[in-house]
Structure 1
Amino acid sequence: MGNQPIIIRRSLFGLVGLILVGLLIAGFIYGLAYFLHTQNPRDTTPIAILQLMGVVVLISTAVTAIVYNLHSMTLNDSGVTIKNWGSLFFSSETHCDWNEIEDLNVQRGGPLAFVGGYGNLLIQTAGTETNLRFNYCPRPEYWRDYIDQRSESAPELVRDV
């Protein structure tokens, strides 16, 4: 594979869906504020509260989109590393060597996942090692086959019996 790691980010299809949902909710809130303003222009308190709610939804959508895009799977000479983010400040990282991989599975989440070309990639490891899971993986069958081929060519794992 060389010295250059391959970094795979989550599917852009899921990111676009996330942003669209946030914009739809914010649009509904701002539409409601406009409607209330046309009904009673003198009562500004509910309108101000709704506008604040719209801003909160837009900021939350932006932060969620950033966190979504931070998740990654890195393939390098030593093995597979998956980094998951719980928020902007907290992440967890799991790693397995190529020779620890025992089985690879792809799960699709329905017709949208099929059309969007993404799925969940599950990497089962040897023994008591932690299994890895990369959700919203773009082209999961391609990466499953790539990892499978790479793990088969890795030196055999030696364990004490």
Structure 2
Amino acid sequence: SLYLFGAGADARPFAALASSVGYAVHICDWRESLCTKEHFPDAASFQIGSINELLHRITFTKLDSVVIMTHDFQVDQQILRVLQKENVLYAGLLGSKKRTRRLLGNTIPDWLHSPIGLSIGAEGPEEIAVSIIAEMISIRKGSEICPSLAFI
């Protein structure tokens, strides 16, 4: 399963691509108007409510992946506080290293992928989705990708 926190416009191509490569995508957001089949036609479920409520409702497993795309500083902090106690396969946060350091008090832990995705020079939501999914697949398959050797 993939738990996607944030249902903004940039999450749509990511959710679609994740579904197409086999993830059961669960959209988690406090904004009911964004959590629709129209926006996320392939979603396995919609988890709607306050982030605190959602985090207590979800039982994460070691095979799950979590991607945070809320664009809300306080919400991201809440999610990260809970995730640091969980054992998930992949946890990634959209945003710069500088923002992540501010969220976590200057240190980015090993369990968190931030900036999220492989460094492929991605631009725009669709290309960013490709870079994130590629990173998630490499983690799931247990392979480390060396960007400079990936295509040799």
TM class, shorter-length: under 0.3
- TM-score normalised by the chain length of structure 2: 0.24
TM-score between the two structures when normalised by the length of structure 1: 0.23
- Mark the structure with the bigger radius of gyration: 1
